[in-house]
Structure 1
Amino acid sequence: MNLDKSQKDDNINKRISLITGNPKKAIRSLAMPMIISMLLMMAYNLADSIWVAGLGSNALAALGFITPVFMIIVGIGNGLGAGATSLIARCIGAENKKGADNAAIHSLIMTLIVAAVLTIAILISLPEILTVMGAGESLSLAVQYGQIVFGGLIFLILSSVASGILRAEGDVKRATYAMAATAILNIILDPIFIYSRGMGVAGAAWATVISSSVSSALIIYWLVLKRDTYVSLSMEDFKTNFRVIKDILGVGMPASAEFLIMSILGIILNIILVTTGGTDAVAVYTAGWRVVNIAMIPAIGIGTAAITVAGAAYGAKKYGNVSTALNYSVKLGISIAAVTSIITYVFAPNISGIFAYSSQSAFLAPSIASFLQVMCLFYIIVPLGITASSIFQAMGKGTTSLILTIIREVAFISVFAYLFAFVLGIGSQGVWWGIVVGGACGCILAYIWAHTYVNRLKRNYNGEKSTDRRFKLETKTKTPRVPQKE
């Protein structure tokens, strides 16, 4: 028993030493499991679409109409998870164990409250929401699918937030295991429920809910029952603290809002594309952007790791490590992106064939290939923006991260897309170049902003320490005044 406890303590100490030690080593160690888990989740989403597509166009459309609402929920879960990760990591860096425990408990209680409110609100208004979105003939199937998925909404949000708690203390492997379990189980259950049991779209929904519940149960078991984590979830240590709530939401709400901003950008780009090239241009963008999303996963995984590492460094006031985390994450992300870019450029015609294998869509292949060969340039600048946003989230500056996203997505990408498409008359290809040029401007600005902010922190802190050292030295060496005899 003592040996088991000693082993648990040793594992915890190794994880804490990792995230508070060499930032480069920590980012490499934490990023790879995150990248793998996100690739698995991407495969799970793709598998959902493939299996449901066999039920017909209305069933596939039903998933399409539910997806925007689903992504908002995922965004809220990821946002609360980022808020929990940031605050707990800062507490760990500051060696504030009670603060980390309290932050973890607050984040889970907030998850339960948010999930309950959203579940009731969405289930009541779902038919109206889908009608406004234009579900039409697929309305009944969309409602059927949505009522099951959003009935289990608690598991979608809880798994994200609980994973964030594990990531905060460097336990990325088990967070990855939970996400992998969700993806693999969903891929297995989809054909069984949809076809073998004849449940149709309802089967796909139940597969999603069950797989998410298993992921949540695994993490709660590790946190509450097995108790081999740094944070302790004991209500005896819980003290309601509105500052903790504010800190979590200060990162969580802006991070969630970033998903909404990206959705708005997608709508804007679709409108420009329909105007300049019709539905074919939208189809090219939709297919090609799936490849771009996969290519961005390494940068996102590295950025997620940087939240933990930079958060711990910021909490410990090791601003030099924050700077190292920023610069190393950017270099690592760009290095991987350069390789991905070359591969995509060379094999773009082959990749485009995946989305244009039927006789009805074969004519889109050259356009998809051209889109991907332009987007190769976008891959390389993405790590600058993602890492900068992650560093600000790590320091609890969620609003700054949101502002940078708004500037990049709305002020730069949408404006440049409009200018190239209409003012310069390039048409739908102008939208592609608008994404590249606007994204470059936004990402470079974000990196400069983050780099300048962190450097200012370092200078100010070093200046304060220098002043303190001079004061202490002067106090020690100052000759005491000897009172004169009268």
Structure 2
Amino acid sequence: MQKTTKGVEMLLGDPKKAIIKLAIPMMIAMFVQTLYNLADGIWVAGLGPEALAAIGMFFPIFMIIISFAAGIGIGVNAVISQKIGQGNKRAADETAKTAIYLVIILSIILTVISILSIKPALKLMGAKDEVLKLSLDYSNNVLYFIIVFMFSNVGNAILRGEGDAKRAMYAISIGSILNIFLDPLFIYTFKFGVKGAAYATVISAAVGCFLIYYWFFIKKSTYLSINLLDFRIDFSVLRDILKIGVPASFAQISMSVAIFVLNSFATRAGGQLGVAIFTSAWRVINLGTIPMIGASTAVTSVVGAAFGAKDAKKLETAHLFAIRFGVFIGICIMAIILLFSKQIAFIFTYSERGKIIFTDLVKALMILSLFLPGTPFGMFTSAMFQGIGHGGKSLAITIFRTIIMQVFFCWLLVNVFQIGLSGVWWGIVIGNLTNAVVAFTWSRVVIHKLKIQFSQNSP
């Protein structure tokens, strides 16, 4: 008799309950990860705005690298949930194994490329003098451990694909909490400065990575059985992963490229201090977007299982329920940011040198908080498209928001209307709201077509 787990049973059950039960652990994990990001920024801020800008310069580059793992993770999450929906465990096992092989090979390639190109990339973004030196100090101590970050990312996706969001939460949360405590130790106690932040990040990620390895290959307590000693690769499974994963990777990269460009707009409008403001404000906005990212992984899993079972009604219910859930989260966090913008800004400007950006940071937080309520329409529609294997549609939505709408409106407001840093913040908000309308409309059309297709194919 084929084994099952509570996670698999939940994945195949009530879509609303599945969304909540899968989303909440990942939202907690992402919230803890966001707290780590905030804490990391706070500790680094104590070194001065140059150090904060240095981390901000490296962040979009690092996210481009991690985007490849994130894309593979999205692909494997969707395909595993589809196979489970079909009742095909063997194919789900093959999907997990293939994804791990793929991420190992990709990690080696990206490590070599990134080490050789990091300095020119930072210079291209506008880093120079002390900011360039500090950014290199940080990045050169992170890039040699790309495989740790990539394996953790894909391992978590495998767990989510089989409905085991709790263990995915444990791996992310334990590493993030550890990082919060290691940051001050390495930065100030051991006096490593920016390098200390890098050491803390790598060690914490390695702990989460080991947990996933333990569950998969030592304890062997997951629903899926992964045998890496069997070097045979099912290329049909690889094709399924890449069909979703490659567009998802490009979608992730497009977001990092957009941050890269937005950093440039911030630099043009406010100098290197503009980057420090943008970096700090965006960390706070991630309190809203990152919990939604956690919920979006639930959408991909539940929709994928429904699609595999050819249940269009369940698919639609999961998508609409998730959007309502996400809008509620966005409004709540927006209200908190608006009410406490000065207190939040003070956290990033408590040092004597940091006070110079306080007023501009408060303004950035208040404007960018308006970004949050419209985010679920695009984000969860993109996750829905990934769940049904329409990776190209998911990519199109992301590019429309990041590369086209946000960049266009930022360019218009900064270069044409010349309203300074506020133009960057309003450009991001207006671009996101435009995308929300387009994405949701498109989702309704696609789901309607799936209803017709499944009803025609039913016996």
Structures share fold, TM-score greater than 0.5 = yes
Alignment of 1:177-256 (within 5 A): 177-235=170-228, 239-256=232-249
Q: Which residue of 2 aligns with 1:148?
A: 141
> Deviation at 1:204?
3.3
**Residue identity matched to 2:322:** S
Report if the CA contact (8 A) 1:98-1:237 is conserved. no
1:43 aligns with 2:54: no
Any stretches of 5+ residues in structure 1 without a counterpart? 1-5, 469-486
- Which one of 56, 59, 65 corresponds to residue 67 of structure 1? 59
- Which one of 71, 76, 81 corresponds to residue 79 of structure 1? 71
Report if the CA contact (8 A) 2:83-2:91 is conserved. yes
Report if the CA contact (8 A) 2:53-2:131 is conserved. yes
- For residues 18-55 of structure 1, the C-alpha deviation after alignment (integer angstroms, 9 at most, x for no partner) is 01111110111111111111122222233334444555
> Deviation at 1:257?
1.9
**Residue identity matched to 2:410:** A
1:169 aligns with 2:191: no
Q: Which residue of 2 aligns with 1:18?
A: 10
The percentage of aligned residue pairs carrying the same residue is 39
Q: State the distance in 1 between where 2:271 and 2:316 align.
A: 46
Q: Which residue of 2 aligns with 1:379?
A: 372
- For residues 133-164 of structure 1, the C-alpha deviation after alignment (integer angstroms, 9 at most, x for no partner) is 54444556544543332222111100010111
Q: Which residue of 1 aligns with 2:299?
A: 306
Q: State the distance in 2 between where 1:459 and 1:324 align.
A: 16
**Residue identity matched to 1:222:** W
Report if the CA contact (8 A) 1:285-1:371 is conserved. yes
> Deviation at 1:310?
0.6
1:102 aligns with 2:97: no
1:438 aligns with 2:431: yes
Structure 1 residues 54 and 369, CA gap change in structure 2 (3 angstroms): closer
1:121 aligns with 2:113: yes
Q: State the distance in 1 between where 2:376 and 2:132 align.
A: 39
Q: State the distance in 2 between where 1:76 and 1:27 align.
A: 25
Matched position secondary structure for 2:340: helix
**Residue identity matched to 1:401:** S
Alignment of 1:267-286 (within 5 A): 267-273=260-266, 283-286=276-279
TM-score, with length taken from structure 1? 0.85
Q: How many residues align structurally?
A: 458
> Deviation at 1:343?
2.6
Greater Cα shift, 222-231 or 246-255: 246-255
CA RMSD of aligned residues (A): 2.8
Q: State the distance in 2 between where 1:24 and 1:323 align.
A: 11
- Which one of 399, 402, 425 corresponds to residue 409 of structure 1? 402
**Residue identity matched to 2:62:** F
Report if the CA contact (8 A) 1:105-1:238 is conserved. no
Any stretches of 5+ residues in structure 2 without a counterpart? none
- Which one of 443, 449, 455 corresponds to residue 450 of structure 1? 443
Q: State the distance in 2 between where 1:204 and 1:342 align.
A: 31
Q: Which residue of 1 aligns with 2:347?
A: 354
> Deviation at 1:416?
2.8
> Deviation at 1:65?
4.0
- Which one of 326, 329, 354 corresponds to residue 333 of structure 1? 326
**Residue identity matched to 1:249:** L
Report if the CA contact (8 A) 1:92-1:312 is conserved. yes
Greater Cα shift, 432-441 or 22-31: 432-441
Structure 1 residues 369 and 199, CA gap change in structure 2 (3 angstroms): closer
Q: State the distance in 2 between where 1:69 and 1:426 align.
A: 28
Greater Cα shift, 38-47 or 111-120: 38-47
Greater Cα shift, 74-83 or 204-213: 204-213
Greater Cα shift, 80-89 or 263-272: 263-272
Matched position secondary structure for 2:332: helix
- For residues 202-242 of structure 1, the C-alpha deviation after alignment (integer angstroms, 9 at most, x for no partner) is 44333322222221111111112212211101257764222
Structure 1 residues 132 and 282, CA gap change in structure 2 (3 angstroms): closer
Q: State the distance in 2 between where 1:69 and 1:124 align.
A: 13
Alignment of 1:247-266 (within 5 A): 247-266=240-259
> Deviation at 1:250?
2.1
Matched position secondary structure for 2:5: helix
Q: State the distance in 2 between where 1:425 and 1:132 align.
A: 23
Matched position secondary structure for 1:240: coil
Q: State the distance in 2 between where 1:250 and 1:410 align.
A: 22
> Deviation at 1:440?
1.2
> Deviation at 1:243?
2.2
- For residues 337-379 of structure 1, the C-alpha deviation after alignment (integer angstroms, 9 at most, x for no partner) is 2222223333333333333445655565454444433334321
Q: State the distance in 2 between where 1:275 and 1:69 align.
A: 19
